[in-house]
């Protein structure tokens, strides 16, 4: 395997949040903090992310770090170099771009620092944070890396004498052909650093789509936002791979908390969602297999008919919870026995649907449900890939012959009503 792309980041969190833009699209990605590790991973990954930890270095030391890193990566035969920038432009922006250009013998750096998903946009070559110029945000008062300017060319010029060109938002908004002409014009003028405005992810996608038309080698520079646009644009994956699949997400909600019930109700209103309620009274009456067949048959019918995502829940209301406790008490069952019965039942459903070829994701709500489901599915371990929200991880089960279906686990008490969505 030839490493297609390498990212150079100036801090560890930046390395990770950029690396995940590639890994979530199926590219094998590794983050390292020591160039000595390069020989060991050469050829093993599609994308290598190098954290050079230069955010707080002098511009001279930062230059040396980037220069040596680019040289090492080019010697490996890496096809593309991406110099990752902090979207609030902290660090040694100018000296690091200059070092990468010179070490890689590039004549052009395409710079797109916008990160629209986090409210960081570039308009008129100025960086704005949720509509506020960078120098008027709290970032301006950072005790270590204060920012006293919002105009990006001036920030870059503070550390390099290389000429900087800009492409205004109006050319981006007019579409691919207009942007292509302006890009070609600037390149023909011999501008080595070309900064391009962007206010939306679609703008970054458009900029990236023009990279294949460039006839010279180029350095790519930007935040995690521009990085996300690169896998398709650079041919690292195809467009079909990047499209959302048409399968179904199945949620198993075993938590009986008020929070979980509210989350399901909210999701039901907002999404094309099919909610299937387990009749726990049937389980308590000994009709386990009959209820299991009913739930699984109904879920598979929804999948076959492409009716949308599915939530299977054990309690739709407080009254149901109360009624179940009363029946269980009459039958001499304690709370732990009820919990174990329901967890095993829902775990069995999770196993059956997790292995269905049309299921593209599994949501498990409630710690006991997640544990029992993983056990019944045959998971030997869970590989954590990312977070869908803080404290709500997504990963895959590792085990013999298990599919790489994403699995999200959520505590029953995770509070926000939007969490299931």
Q: Read off the pLDDT of residues 22-76 as tens digits, 9 standing for 90 and up.
A: 988 888 889 998 888 777 776 778 999 999 999 999 999 999 999 999 999 999 8
The pTM is what? 0.61
Q: How far is CA 345 from CA 188, 205, 250, 285, in A?
A: 67, 45, 15, 14
Could you say which of 1.10.10.10, 3.40.50.2000, 3.40.980.20, 2.60.40.1180 is the CATH number of the domain covering 248-410?
3.40.980.20
The per-residue pLDDT for 415 is 44
How many beta carbons lie within 10 A of that of residue 285, not counting itself? 13
Q: Give the residue range(s) of CATH 3.40.50.10840 domains in the chain.
A: 5-242
Q: Which CATH superfamily is domain 5-242 in?
A: Putative sugar-binding, N-terminal domain (3.40.50.10840)
- What pLDDT, on a 0 to 100 scale, did the predictor assign at position 140? 81
The reported pLDDT for the residue numbered 41 is: 74
Helix 12-23 vs helix 224-233: crossing angle, to nearest 10? 30
Classify strands 126-129 and 132-133 as parallel, antiparallel or unpaired.
antiparallel
- pLDDT per 10-residue tile (average), the chain, 421 residues: 86 88 87 82 83 94 98 92 96 98 97 94 97 91 83 97 98 95 95 97 95 86 95 79 65 77 73 84 90 95 86 81 82 85 94 90 87 90 77 83 87 52 49
Specify the pLDDT at position 414: 47
Distance separating alpha carbons of residues 359 and 356, to the nearest angstrom: 6
């Amino acid at each position: 395997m030839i490493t297609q792309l390498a990212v150079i980041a100036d801090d560890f969190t930046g390395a990770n949040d950029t690396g995940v833009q590639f890994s979530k699209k199926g590219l094998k990605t590794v983050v390292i903090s020591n160039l000595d590790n390069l020989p060991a991973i050469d050829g093993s990954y599609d994308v290598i992310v190098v954290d050079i930890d230069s955010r707080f270095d002098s511009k001279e030391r930062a230059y040396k770090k980037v220069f040596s890193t680019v040289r090492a990566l080019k010697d490996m035969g890496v096809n593309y170099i991406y110099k990752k920038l902090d979207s609030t432009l902290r660090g040694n922006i100018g000296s690091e771009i200059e070092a990468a250009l010179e070490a890689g013998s590039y004549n052009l750096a395409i710079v797109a620092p916008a990160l629209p998903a986090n409210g960081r946009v570039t308009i008129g070559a100025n960086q704005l944070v949720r509509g506020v110029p960078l120098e008027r945000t709290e970032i301006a008062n950072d005790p270590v890396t204060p920012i006293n300017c919002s105009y990006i060319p001036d920030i870059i010029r503070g550390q390099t004498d290389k000429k900087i060109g800009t492409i205004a938002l109006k050319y981006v908004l007019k579409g691919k052909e207009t942007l292509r002409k302006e890009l070609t014009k600037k390149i023909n003028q011999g501008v080595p650093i070309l900064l391009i405005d962007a206010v939306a992810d679609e703008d970054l996608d458009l900029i990236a789509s023009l990279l294949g038309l460039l006839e010279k080698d180029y350095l790519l520079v930007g935040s995690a936002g521009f990085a996300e646009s690169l896998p398709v644009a650079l041919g690292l994956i195809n467009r079909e791979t990047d499209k959302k699949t048409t399968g179904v997400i199945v949620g198993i909600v075993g938590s009986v908390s008020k929070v979980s019930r509210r989350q399901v109700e909210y999701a039901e209103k907002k999404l094309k969602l099919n909610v299937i309620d387990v009749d726990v009274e049937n389980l308590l009456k000994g009709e386990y297999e009959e209820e299991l067949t009913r739930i699984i048959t109904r879920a598979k019918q929804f999948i076959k008919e492409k009716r949308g995502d599915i939530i299977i829940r054990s309690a739709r209301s407080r009254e149901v919870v109360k009624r179940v406790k009363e029946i269980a008490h009459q039958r001499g069952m304690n709370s732990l026995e009820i919990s174990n019965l329901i967890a095993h039942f829902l775990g069995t459903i999770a196993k059956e649907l997790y292995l269905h070829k049309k299921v593209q994701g599994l949501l498990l709500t409630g710690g006991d449900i997640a544990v029992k489901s993983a056990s019944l599915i045959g998971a030997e371990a869970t590989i954590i890939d990312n977070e869908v929200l803080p404290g709500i991880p997504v990963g895959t089960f590792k085990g013999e012959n298990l599919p790489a279906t994403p699995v999200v686990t959520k505590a029953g008490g995770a509070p926000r009503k939007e969490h299931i969505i």
